[in-house]
Amino acid sequence: MPHPFTWVPAARQRHASCDPVPGPGRAFPAEATVTTLCGREVTTERGEIPWLWETCPGCDEQARQLAGLPSRAAIAEQAARVREGS
Ligand SMILES: [Zn+2]
C-alpha cells in the first residue's frame, strides 16, 4: 500500500505532503501550492537540484509516524544503548 504522503521539494527543503497529487504522475507539478506535514503552505519546485535539498526535519518525523517507522530520536536512542552495551 502506498504511503498517504508525497515528498515534494519546496522552499529550499524536501517536505512531505498529504495533499492529493493531481494527474497521473507520482509527484506534484512545479508551482503548485501544497500543505506540508510540518504545517506550512509552500510552492512546489521540480528539477534535479531541488530533490537534493535537505529533508525538512518536521516532515521527516511526521512521515515516519505515518509510515509506522521509528522516529530518528528513537533510532539514535537505540544506537546509544547498543554502544553502551558493547
Ligand atoms: Zn516540512
Q: How far apart are CA 60 and CA 66, in angstroms?
A: 10
- List the beta bridge partners of residue 17: 6, 36
pLDDT values of the chain reduced to their tens digit, one per residue, 86 residues: 567 899 999 999 999 999 999 888 888 999 999 999 999 999 999 999 999 999 999 999 999 999 999 999 999 999 999 999 86
- Which sequence spans correspond to the domains of the chain? 6-85
Residue 66, H or E segment = helix 57-66
Q: Would you state the pLDDT for residue 1? A: 52
- Write the single-letter amino acid at 56: C
Q: How far apart are the CA of 74 and the centre of ligand 1, in A?
A: 20
Task: Tabulate helix, strand, coil % of the chain (nearest 5).
Answer: 35, 20, 45
Ligand 1 mean position, distance from CA 24 (Å)? 24
Which pLDDT value is given to residue 46? Answer: 92
Residue 59: its pLDDT value, please?
A: 98
Cell triple for 42: 509552500
> For the whole model, what pTM was predicted?
0.83
